[in-house]
Amino acid sequence: MSTTTTRKVVIEPVTRVEGHGKVTILLDEAGQVERARLHIVEFRGFERFIQGRPFWEMPVAVQRLCGICPVSHHLAAAKAMDRIVGGENLTPTAEKMRRLMHYGQMFQSHSLHFFHLASPDLLFGFGADPELRNVIAVAGKFPELGKQGIMMRKYGQEIIRMTAGKKIHGTGAIPGGINKNLTIAERDELLVELDQMKIWARAAVKIARDYTVDNLEMALGFGSFESSHMSIVRADGAMDLYDGGLRAITADGKTIFDHVDNQRYADYIAEEVKPWSYMKFPFIKSIGPENGWYRVGPLARVNACDFIDTPEAEAVRQEFMAVTDGKPNNVTLAYHWTRMIETLHAVEKIEELLHDPDLQGDDLVVKGERRNETVGIIEAPRGTLFHHYVVDDNDQVVMANLIVSTTSNNEPMNRAVEGVAKKYLSGREITEGLLNHVEVAIRAYDPCLSCATHALGQMPLVVDLVDASGALLDTRKRG
Amino acid sequence: MGVPIPTAPRLRSGPMRVLVLGYGNPGRRDDGLGPRLAEELSHMGLPGVDVDSAYQLQAEDAAAVADHDVVVFVDADVSCPDPFEMRPVLPAGEPRFSTHSLAPETVLSMAWKYLEAKPEAYVLAIRGEDFDGFGEGLSDRAQRNLSAALGFIEKFLEERASSCEKAST
């Protein structure tokens, strides 16, 4: 006799990033996985918080959104405010300083994720005891990898400090430009370690590539699914992480839209609200809310671009695309490989910029015709980041709408978790193995699940198994 | 709320180097206690004391920790006794879900294991009460606790420097 009992497995990290989140795996009457949801309780309050503030504060104020990628918010807001002051055609010095800051951010963020968050999974296996599957354990077996992660992260942070003025609450980008150039001394300091960074970036691409190729059969069945992909691309179709038109492609590579003017994003992307989450669900309007979800981030960017304009990254991009005969790659675990392709691209761009004398220029700011509405879009490490503002004639922000990359990847993460849960969960127990695999699937997207508040004494992960009546069947804590 | 001043011999020669690293999000009310203490302490210009701040602890902080003899991590705390608590830190691993932030124990462990540096390390946990919503500024309680913690850390650093000088003569 069947019953109507539905059990819920709840994985609830208490830390707050774009809010705090939990995973709910819904079981059917037979105890099998019916569907999975990742709830990220995004604090939409931030968009209200900045209303009434003067527009020139935005590039600094929005950095308080996120402790992980404040530089991305800083630059997206600055790009938006450029248009408010009519200064979107930046001077070469201003644009190149911002790009250097951005590539520094990309380099350190991707390195951190790969060496310190993902590598324990890849090196020790998804099923390994979490006590042995972390960055400290990596030191025991692969001490050089962990050290590389530290030094690559430090290098990127130094670039940020030199371009943004300081590590947190940087003020480098301002409406219409930048407030400092790069001194010769700063440039030379960064050049000292550049070659080492390139060597490590190349080696990291190889680790990620070898892992994916050697485990391709497993990866194909690990939370993978077909999806659309979206990013900005340069006018000639090249990958451009700082500026470009919006491009979206289908799972097999057909164009959905291309070179969309950033100011018109709302004609192509809409956001849906669902009752079980505070987070909005962006979708491609022409496809509709049911199937219009898409992936963003490194995998989407490598899939969507026509080429990469730095030689070493382009070579490894071609190798990556060859795995799927030039079609988009829809393997969730391939995010790691593409993340390292972008890391190599970032360090190549850093090298290009450090040898460009425009970085020592003195023409830092431009202004032009004042506007009241503006959109700034940038490719943050985790994907496309939208900042949309309306400013009144008193220079106060009266409307703000932000679409962060983790929001765009929400439905893909749901799909990834669902796929993994269907494979690894049955019965009434939250096994360590299930939890490990759910973590690995989510981690591939590098979601932003940990900023805002982190005060001592909070628990990062709680897992509950609850029956239909609300009774707790099982619980697990980690951290 | 205080701790005994350790007198262990230092491993490196030259002047003692101290790092005070305050971390937290100043845009989330009392979560900004760590950066706020760092800001106030940096204005004092204490000799031999490097002061830094961050939203959260990260891998590269291990490199900074490794460059110092004494490290004090300063953070807001949701449950320690008023007004603050100072405690030694020992290295430890820290398996985490998807978080990008590290605990002081993990940063210290990375300095030990990857960079072969073993500084003395402490956490100065300052009790806060308002961690909800966005907004700058501290609650009255956090402000009072910050003042007490500042007085303590200044004295601690002076005594630590003094004990080091005696040990080296």
Domain A45-166+184-408 class in CATH:
mainly alpha
Helix (H/G/I), strand (E/B), else coil: B58:
coil
Per the domain annotation, does B66 fall within a domain? yes
Among A414, A3, A343, smallest CA distance to A199 is for A343
pLDDT of residue A434: 79
State which residues form the domain around B33: 18-168
Q: List strands edge to edge, sheet with B84-88.
A: B49-54, B18-23, B70-77, B120-127, B84-88
pLDDT of residue A397: 97
Per the domain annotation, does B10 fall within a domain? no
pLDDT of residue A17: 30
Structural domain boundaries in chain A: 8-42+414-478, 45-166+184-408
pLDDT of residue A472: 60
Q: Domain tally for chain B?
A: 1
Per the domain annotation, does B5 fall within a domain? no
Report CA torsion sign: A22, A28, A29, A31.
negative
pLDDT-based confidence at residue B3 (cuts at 50, 70, 90): very low
Per the domain annotation, does B11 fall within a domain? no
* A window 114-153, beta carbon within 8 A of B: 115-117, 130-131, 133-137, 139-140, 143, 146-147, 149-151, 153
Higher pLDDT, B132 or A144: A144
Instruction: Give, as one character, the DSSP assignment of residue B126.
Output: E
Per the domain annotation, does B2 fall within a domain? no
When scoring B96, B123, B126, B139 by the number of chain A Cβ atoms within 10 A, the one with the most, hence best to mutate, is B96
Closest Cβ opposite residue A439 in set B63, B98, B134: B98
Per the domain annotation, does B1 fall within a domain? no
Per the domain annotation, does B155 fall within a domain? yes
**Each residue's pLDDT tens digit, A75-102:** 999 999 999 999 999 999 999 999 999 9
Q: Which residues of A touch B101 (CB under 8 A)?
A: 15, 67, 450-451, 454
Q: What is the domain-level CATH number for residue B79?
A: 3.40.50.1450
Q: Is B26 on the interface with A (CB under 8 A)?
A: yes
Q: Locate the chain A residue with the closest alpha carbon to B52.
A: A167
Q: Which residues of B touch A437 (CB under 8 A)?
A: none
**Each residue's pLDDT tens digit, A197-218:** 999 999 999 999 999 999 999 9
When scoring B36, B94, B100 by the number of chain A Cβ atoms within 10 A, the one with the most, hence best to mutate, is B100
| Mean pLDDT computed over every residue of chain A | 86
**Each residue's pLDDT tens digit, B67-124:** 999 999 999 998 899 999 999 999 886 555 445 578 899 899 989 988 889 999 999 9
What's the burial of A371, exposed, middle or buried (CB within 10 Å: 0-12/13-18/19+)? middle
pLDDT of residue A276: 65
Give the separation between CA A256 and CA A270, rounded to whole angstroms: 15
pLDDT of residue B56: 83
Q: Is the confidence at residue B133, as pLDDT, over 80?
A: no
* B window 31-70, beta carbon within 8 A of A: 31, 35, 52-56, 58-60, 62-63
pLDDT of residue A479: 45
Distance from CA of A449 to the nearest CA of B (A): 6
What is the pLDDT averaged over residues A20-29?
A: 71
**Each residue's pLDDT tens digit, A241-279:** 999 999 999 999 999 999 999 999 999 999 987 776 666
Q: Are A392 and A81 in contact (CB under 8 A)?
A: no
Q: Which residues of A touch B54 (CB under 8 A)?
A: 167-168
Per the domain annotation, does B99 fall within a domain? yes
Report for A211-220, A229-238, A442-451: range of highest mean pLDDT? A229-238
Q: Is A451 on the interface with B (CB under 8 A)?
A: yes
